[in-house]
């Protein structure tokens, strides 16, 4: 397995282009299953998860081509040959379950393996199942697969979600576009990726209102047509690179950055002593003092502080002045990066879903191991500001969510390289 070597101490300065959102693109791609006409996605990220979703769609008979060096995805589902999403593909990525709703809506049946993904806690499918059953689906679990049918077609209905699940909202939203009648998703997720999906579906002819709020109303239509849609900026990649100057000093401009995507996160940056400035091309960030200040963080669904930036924030707070508390309310097992940061000299106390971080003046480079996607990049960031050399192993996680990370950081002055195993 590859490793990444980071030699700390280099001040960063320059521009970093932010890619299209992985989590948005992974929901947009299955939308092609809803129509026989082509769907073209621009500003697509070039990631291993996107390749996995491509493989899954192709296994169903969809045609998916990558253009413009991978930044454009051209998909067509005019001739589906299967409604079965096999375990060998689905196990690699949790978002594979997003083919369930579209297949049910268009074909009236689907057999989808229970998904896999990062080991950051349970993310059960019961919310997805309940939502689709309220639309008239019949779903049984047999041999690790969800066997779903809608013999009379899906029918619009109230869909109250017991938790504002992003994936369940996406599955229900896509399924409802072709259901007969009106569907009202209550306690819907409000994330920008939901808004992006709704905008794309509307371009395809769907009738949707209320995305971005907790109540989304969908009036089903008989068919959807083709469309071209630009994937929204990746707010997690954006937040990750916005943190980089806190570790190293200097100034970074994140091209394509938007404040509306990272509002709660930016509030914590201000409190920690970072300066954030809107520019004509994105967001510019600099550190105002020698060290950031301690802040307390609680992860929440959007528009709250995102769980996918918790690990990176913890890494920054390891060298903050004072003591910070981070409370993880979305996923259990999401402090697996803490012991690795402690190997670098961080002072962290863990108790259940709470981490107490007392800042030290500087971290020290050390051999560390990545445990999941966001933990991986938190160790890279920590290494940028640490004394000496940090070697991060098992970095295959990174390729699921960050395109050309070493190149982007090297271009602004980081001393970083990938070493093949």
pLDDT at 125: 87
Looking at the predicted structure, is the pLDDT value of residue 122 above 70? no
Among 174, 209, 228, residue at a domain's last position: 228
For range 352-378, the mean pLDDT: 94
pLDDT at 77: 97
What phi, psi does 270 have (nearest 5°)?
-60, -45
- Of 156-160, 170-174, 233-237, 393-397, the one with minimum mean pLDDT is 393-397
Q: Is 222 annotated as a binding residue?
A: no
The residues with which 158 forms a beta bridge, in sequence order, are 184
pLDDT at 417: 97
Q: Is 92 annotated as a binding residue?
A: no
- Find the CATH number of the domain harbouring 123: 3.65.10.10
Pairing of strands 12-17, 250-255: parallel
**Residue 118 is among the residues annotated as catalytic for this protein:** yes
Among 196, 228, 260, residue at a domain's last position: 228
Pairing of strands 109-113, 12-17: unpaired
Looking at the predicted structure, is the pLDDT value of residue 401 above 80? yes
Looking at the predicted structure, is the pLDDT value of residue 413 above 80? yes
For range 313-318, the mean pLDDT: 98
80 touches 33 (CB < 8 A) = yes
CA-based R_g, the chain, Å: 21
Question: Angle at the Cα of 124 (from 121 to 129), degrees rounded to 5?
Answer: 170
For range 56-77, the mean pLDDT: 97
Looking at the predicted structure, is the pLDDT value of residue 118 above 50? no
Distances, alpha carbon 338 to alpha carbons 284, 335, 356, 382, in Å: 28, 5, 10, 11
> 123: pLDDT confidence band, cut at 50, 70 and 90?
low
Q: What is the largest CA-CA distance in the chain?
A: 65
**Options 25, 118, 200, 318, the catalytic residue:** 118
Q: Could you tell me the pTM of the whole model?
A: 0.94
- Of 89-98, 213-222, 410-419, the one with minimum mean pLDDT is 89-98
Distances, alpha carbon 101 to alpha carbons 115, 149, 286, 297, 346, in Å: 14, 11, 43, 34, 44
> Are residues 391 and 282 part of one domain?
yes
pLDDT at 421: 72
> Are residues 99 and 68 part of one domain?
yes
Q: Is 330 annotated as a binding residue?
A: yes
In angstroms, the CA 324 to CA 346 distance is 12
48 touches 27 (CB < 8 A) = no
- The total of structural domains in the chain comes to 2
> Are residues 41 and 13 part of one domain?
no
pLDDT at 39: 98
Q: Is 7 annotated as a binding residue?
A: no
> Are residues 308 and 371 part of one domain?
yes
- The dihedral through the CA atoms of 299, 305, 306, 310 has a sign that is negative
> 117: pLDDT confidence band, cut at 50, 70 and 90?
very low
In angstroms, the CA 403 to CA 405 distance is 6
> Are residues 263 and 292 part of one domain?
yes
> Are residues 138 and 206 part of one domain?
yes
Residue 136 structural domain: 22-228
Looking at the predicted structure, is the pLDDT value of residue 119 above 70? no
> Are residues 312 and 197 part of one domain?
no
In angstroms, the CA 199 to CA 209 distance is 10
> 372: pLDDT confidence band, cut at 50, 70 and 90?
confident
> Are residues 11 and 59 part of one domain?
no
pLDDT at 120: 37
Model pLDDT for residues 252-306, shown as the tens digit of each residue:
999 999 999 999 999 999 999 999 999 999 999 999 889 999 999 999 999 999 9
- Of 10-19, 322-331, 336-345, 394-403, the one with minimum mean pLDDT is 394-403
pLDDT at 374: 87
- The overall average pLDDT reported for the chain is 95
pLDDT at 205: 98
Q: Is 94 annotated as a binding residue?
A: yes
| Helix, strand, coil percentages in the chain from 3-state DSSP, rounded to 5 | 35, 30, 35
Looking at the predicted structure, is the pLDDT value of residue 243 above 50? yes
In angstroms, the CA 419 to CA 204 distance is 44
> 236: pLDDT confidence band, cut at 50, 70 and 90?
very high
In angstroms, the CA 220 to CA 201 distance is 12
> Are residues 284 and 375 part of one domain?
yes
> 321: pLDDT confidence band, cut at 50, 70 and 90?
very high
Angle (deg, nearest 10), helices 126-134 and 100-107: 20
> Are residues 265 and 398 part of one domain?
yes
pLDDT at 399: 86
In angstroms, the CA 277 to CA 301 distance is 25
Give the position of tokens 């970072």: 274
> Are residues 266 and 237 part of one domain?
yes
> Are residues 11 and 60 part of one domain?
no
End-to-end CA distance of the chain: 5
- The dihedral through the CA atoms of 86, 92, 96, 100 has a sign that is positive
Among 228, 254, 278, residue at a domain's last position: 228
């Amino acid at each position: 397995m590859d490793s990444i070597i980071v030699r700390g101490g280099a001040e960063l300065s320059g521009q970093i282009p932010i890619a299209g959102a992985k989590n948005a693109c992974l929901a947009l791609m299955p939308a092609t299953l809803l129509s026989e006409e082509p769907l073209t996605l621009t500003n697509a990220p070039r990631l291993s998860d996107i390749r996995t979703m491509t493989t899954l769609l192709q296994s169903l008979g969809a045609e998916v081509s990558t253009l413009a060096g991978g930044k454009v995805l051209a998909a067509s589902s005019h001739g589906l040959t299967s409604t079965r999403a096999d375990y060998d593909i689905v196990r690699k990525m949790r978002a594979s379950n997003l083919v369930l709703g579209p297949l049910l809506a268009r074909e009236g049946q689907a057999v989808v393996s229970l998904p896999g993904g990062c080991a950051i806690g349970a993310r059960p499918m019961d919310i997805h199942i309940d939502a689709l059953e309220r639309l008239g689906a019949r779903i049984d679990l047999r041999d690790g697969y969800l066997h779903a049918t809608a013999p009379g077609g899906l029918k619009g209905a109230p869909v109250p979600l017991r938790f504002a699940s992003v994936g369940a909202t996406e599955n229900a939203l896509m399924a409802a576009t072709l259901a007969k009648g009106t569907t009202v998703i209550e306690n819907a997720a409000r994330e920008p990726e939901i808004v992006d999906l709704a905008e794309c579906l509307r371009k395809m002819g769907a009738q949707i209102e209320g995305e971005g709020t907790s109540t989304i109303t969908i009036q089903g239509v008989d068919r959807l047509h083709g469309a071209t849609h630009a994937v929204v900026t990746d707010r997690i990649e954006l937040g990750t690179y916005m943190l980089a100057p806190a570790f190293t000093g200097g100034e970074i401009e994140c091209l394509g950055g938007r404040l509306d995507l990272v509002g709660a996160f930016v509030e914590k940056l201000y409190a920690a002593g970072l300066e954030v400035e809107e520019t004509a091309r994105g967001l510019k960030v600099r550190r105002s003092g020698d060290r950031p200040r301690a802040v307390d963080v609680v992860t929440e669904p959007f528009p709250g502080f995102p769980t996918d930036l918790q690990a990176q924030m913890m890494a920054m707070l390891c060298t903050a002045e004072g003591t910070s508390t981070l409370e993880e309310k979305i996923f259990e097992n999401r402090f697996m990066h803490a012991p690795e940061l402690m190997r670098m000299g961080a002072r962290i106390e863990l108790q259940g879903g709470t981490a107490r971080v007392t800042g030290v003046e500087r971290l020290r480079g050390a051999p560390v191991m990545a445990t999941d996607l966001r933990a991986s990049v938190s160790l890279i960031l920590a290494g940028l500001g640490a004394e000496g050399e940090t070697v991060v192993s098992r970095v295959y996680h990174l390729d699921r969510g960050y395109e050309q990370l070493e190149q982007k950081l090297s271009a602004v002055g980081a001393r970083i390289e990938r070493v093949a195993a």
